[in-house]
Amino acid sequence: MKGLEPHRSTMLGAATTARANVNVALIKYWGKRDAALNLPATGSISLTLDGLWVEASCAFGAGSNDDCLIDGRPAVEPDRGRLLRFVDLVRAEAGIEAKAAVRTTSGVPNGVGLASSAAAFASLALATSRAAGLRLEAPALSALARRGSGSAARSIFGGFVEWHRGARPDGLDSIAEPLLAPSDWDVRVVVAVVSSARKPVSSRDGMKRAAASPLYPAWVDAAERDLTIARGAIAARDLEALGLVAEHSAFKMHAVGLAARPPLLYWLAATIECVHRVWALREEGTRGWVTIDAGPQVKVLCDPADAHRIAAALADVPGVERVLTCTPGAGVEVRA
Ligand code: DP6
């Protein structure tokens, strides 16, 4: 974490609580150029979603052990190890050895099957660094959050966000930056929850497998072009151009996995049915564009005026457990 230029501020011992929202990638991050530093093979672009948050609080003190609670329960492996490796990075940066009391609470409704590691590590980056006496600016917070989970680098910011691949071996230029604030462009993301079960292959393991796919080099090669198109579409508030390139990015990501050995297939029958419903609606003039992450849920980018019709159509698909409609959300913030 060298080069983050910390400024000491708060007293050791004081607890800090921070909250961050999840984000949905429109141009996907799917592959790493450095697994140890968690550096991505490509840039990515996302939208932070309001109302799907994780809150983290942290205090460093004189205890003899680290104490971690996730949603009120003692953290168990592998989550505990991942969380404490992250806390160790902060301790090293702050030059402290004090034990940590860390609590995370998820505001993502139970059973919506949405991975919340992006919101968790974004809120942990702010809470743990402040509690350790560091006052990091947003770019340094983004670099720190990235070490916990790549997509967390983007949840530091609200609205439309780009996370840069960067070229430096130390990763200091692999940080996210906001493209548009949440209030700059009013769009909706309709989420069809197809399964609330924990995904069988984590993003991390999925990316490892995908990197050996024969389609992986083509995926990486095309990323810059997709990023340029998405950046331009966001600047022009062109929903169709953004939706089409987002759909393309998502299907390419899944194609890379399908061609891996063993194949990676995150979709269930209802996932595919949702995609067909969205495409059928589009033929009829209700415009929505799908994206799918490392799981079976389908997320649909659309105009606010079309969100209700899309949500109703997806709620009707057999196998869909529930449907949520999200607005653009804010970046990470300290809670009183
Ligand atoms: C499909 O950020 O969860 O959601 O960096 O290994 O923790 P790690 O992976 P993670 O991967 C997210 C993958 C994705 C696409 C995306 O969010 O860009």
Q: Which residues neighbour 177 within 8 Å (Cβ) at sequence distance 6 or greater? A: 139, 142, 157, 161, 162, 164
pTM: 0.95
User: Does the beta carbon of 117 sit less than 6 angstroms from any atom of ligand 1?
Assistant: yes
Number of the ligand 1 atom closest to the C-alpha atom of 148: 7
Q: Which of 11-25, 34-48, 205-219, 284-298 has the lowest mean pLDDT?
A: 11-25
User: Does the beta carbon of 150 sit less than 6 angstroms from any atom of ligand 1?
Assistant: yes
Query: Using 50, 70 and 90 to split pLDDT, how confident is the model at 14?
Result: confident
Number of the ligand 1 atom closest to the C-alpha atom of 115: 3
**Which residue carries 């990197």 as its tokens?**
211
- The model's pLDDT over 98-113, given as tens digits with 9 standing for 90+, comes to 999 999 999 987 666 6
Burial 51-88 (b: 16+ CB within 10 A, else e): ebbbbbbbbbeeeeebebebeeeebeeeeeebbbebbe
Range list of β-strands (E), the chain: 16-27, 32-34, 39-40, 44-61, 67-70, 73-74, 99-106, 160-163, 176-180, 188-193, 288-291, 298-302, 322-326, 333-335
CA dihedral 51, 54, 55, 60 (to 10 degrees): -160
